[in-house]
Amino acid sequence: MSDFTSNFWSVYVAALTLIGIFACLILLWVTARKKVASSADNTTGHVWDEDLREMNNPMPRWWMWLFVLTIVFSLGYLAAYPGLGSYAGQLGWSTQGEYTLEVAKATRELEPLYARFTAMKPEDAAGQPEAMAIGERLFMNNCAQCHGSDARGSKGFPNLADGDWLHGWGEAAIVAMINQGKVNQMPAQADKLTEAQIHLLTAYVWGLSNKADAVK
């Protein structure tokens, strides 16, 4: 709601929500107290189309308590989570925070997996099927958009699989290129990928031009 200059809409939404909940509560209270007429034969006493009679089949009372429960839940929810206009909720939960947590958790879980390969030189890691599978997935997510899913590039995007090294040869050159990118040509990846991920990407890219030693 940060797009708005005043908090009118926030108050408007919050008020509508609370009025709605309150109206439900009043409706429940009224219907719980209301009495209706019922005939001795358990019909409502109404007759339609000459002989259609309506049976009186009331709801069980515990059902009403379920409704009350939903109201209690909604109030608790609105207090804890964002929902009332721009009020953020007592727990401070947000989708962005949730995403950050999930990424941090995934990174923690993947670290021991990566650790096995970060100790290896890229040319050794390129001989490990698992390392190459990780490298391939990283490549697909971060590099294939320009360099192509087979890493053979296209016009303006260098072919990484042909053994021609346009910007220096070997591990250091690959790592430097991924980290810093090239002005006006390739975005730097240092902030987007972890060191371990860049190491595995390097192994994968190294393996592309040295297929004989690398696992396919």
Partner 1 sequence: MGSPLKPSPAPVRKVIPIAPVPVDETMVSLYEAQKKIYPRSVSGLFARWRWGLVFATQLVFYGLPWLEWGQRQAVLFDLGARRFYIFGLVLYPQDFIYLTALLVISALSLFLFTAVAGRLWCGFACPQTVYTEIFLWIECRIEGDRTARMRLDGAPMSLEKLVKKWFKHLVWLGLALWTGFSFVGYFSPIRDLGLAFLQTRMGSWEVFWVAFYGLATYGNAGFLREQVCKYMCPYARFQSAMFDRDTLIVTYDQARGEPRGARSRKAALQALELGACVDCTLCVQVCPTGIDIRNGLQYECISCGACADVCDTVMDKMSYPRGLIRFSTQNGVAARWTQSQMLRRVLRPRVLIYSAVLLALCLGLMLSLVLRTPLKVDVVRDRAALSRIVEGGQLENVYRLQVMNATESPQRYRIMAQGLPGLVLASDEFVSVEAAQSRWVAVRLHLPYGAATAGSHPIHFEIQAVDADATVSEKSVFLVPR
Please report, as ranges, the residues that interact with partner 1 according to CB under 8 A.
Answer: 31-32, 34-41, 45-50, 53, 56, 58-64, 140, 144-150, 152-155, 157, 216
Nearer to partner 1, 85 or 206 (CB): 206
Nearer to partner 1, 7 or 149 (CB): 149
- The residue among 167, 106, 166, 165 whose CA lies nearest residue 137 is 106
Answer positive or negative: Cα dihedral of 115, 120, 126, 130: negative
CB of 117 to partner 1, least distance (A): 20
Q: Give the Cα separation of 158 and 141 in Å (integer).
A: 17
Burial of 42 (0-12, 13-18, 19+ CB in 10 A): exposed
Query: Phi then psi for 52, rounded to 5 degrees?
Result: -85, 115
CB of 140 to partner 1, least distance (A): 8
CB of 105 to partner 1, least distance (A): 13
Nearer to partner 1, 90 or 145 (CB): 145
CB of 215 to partner 1, least distance (A): 11
Nearer to partner 1, 112 or 156 (CB): 156
Token pair 């991920």: residue: 197
